């Protein structure tokens, strides 16, 4: 099953992608995670994109094309994949279509998880991550067992700079301007399914599974 998960930053794409990845045994491909890993590892790519990520802006399309193409060529995508965070522009959606055509793959569904700006700001500003193992928490919905410490490795949790409220609003604005038109692109091709992301995690997952089973 080849899937794309869309929605504003903080709609819960990453969390739901992990659940789907486990249930269907397909890799979760998060371009945000790939870029953050490159920054942490200090690669050439990481050095080029670090400030862009910090400000919540979009990495240039040409760089993204190369990253996604290389990732979708790997063997572990042969039974499917779930793309999270790509495409974010109409040009990226067009390129994805080309890449998939070249690789003889199809998109089975594009799932939009909806959320309002206020919900997103509230949710993302409560997000904390473990700088050591990368586990993600939320002070409202997914609290660590001990205040501000990672359940897995005990490291003190941090707030990412791009999760600060003013950066979140900027990311939301960019989503409306650049990414919302991508939804139209997929709506026209008949693969778009919409799920209300404002509800508890488990309810959103249930809806997602139902819409995937009814494909």
Compare residues 186 and 214 and give the one whose CB is closer to ligand AMP.
Answer: 186
- Please identify which of the residues 122, 143, 160, 178 carries the catalytic annotation: 160
**By the criterion CB under 6 A, which residues form the site for ligand AMP?**
9, 31-32, 35, 52-53, 56-59, 64, 85-86, 88, 92, 162, 171
Minimum distance from residue 92 beta carbon to ligand AMP (Å)? 6
Is 127 within any annotated ligand binding site? yes
Phi-psi region of 154 (alpha: psi -120 to 50; beta: other; left: phi over 0): left
Determine whether 88 is an active site residue.
Answer: yes
Is 56 within any annotated ligand binding site? no
What is the rounded CA–CA span in Å between residue 151 and residue 157?
Answer: 10
Is 186 within any annotated ligand binding site? no
- Classified as helix, coil or strand, 137 is strand
Distances in Å between the Cα of 116 and the Cα atoms of 7, 10, 79, 173 are 10, 10, 33, 11
Compare residues 48 and 143 and give the one whose CB is closer to ligand AMP.
Answer: 48
Determine whether 74 is an active site residue.
Answer: no
Compare residues 98 and 210 and give the one whose CB is closer to ligand AMP.
Answer: 98
Is 175 within any annotated ligand binding site? no
**Per residue in 98-124, is it b (16+ CB within 10 Å) or e — as a string?**
ebeeeeeeebebbbbbebeeebbbebb
Active site positions, annotated: 13, 88, 127, 160, 171
């Amino acid at each position: 099953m080849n899937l794309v998960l869309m929605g504003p930053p903080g709609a819960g794409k990453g969390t739901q992608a992990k659940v789907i990845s486990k249930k269907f045994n397909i890799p979760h491909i998060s371009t945000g995670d790939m870029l953050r890993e490159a920054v942490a590892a200090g690669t050439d790519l990481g050095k080029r994109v670090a400030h862009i990520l910090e400000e919540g802006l979009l990495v240039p399309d040409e760089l993204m094309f190369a990253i996604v193409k290389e990732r979708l060529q790997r063997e572990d995508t042969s039974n499917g994949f779930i793309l999270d965070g790509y495409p974010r522009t109409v040009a990226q959606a067009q390129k994805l279509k080309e890449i998939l055509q070249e690789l003889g793959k199809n998109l089975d569904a594009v799932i939009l998880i909806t959320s309002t700006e206020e919900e997103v700001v509230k949710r993302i500003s409560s997000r904390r991550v473990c700088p050591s193992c990368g586990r993600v928490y939320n002070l409202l919905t997914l609290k660590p067992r001990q205040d501000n410490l990672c359940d897995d490795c005990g490291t003190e949790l941090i707030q990412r700079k791009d999760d600060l409220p003013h950066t979140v609003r900027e990311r939301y604005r960019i989503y409306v301007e650049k990414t919302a038109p991508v939804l139209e692109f997929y709506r026209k091709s008949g693969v778009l399914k919409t799920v209300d992301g404002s509800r508890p995690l488990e309810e959103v997952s249930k809806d997602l599974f139902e819409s995937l089973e009814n494909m």
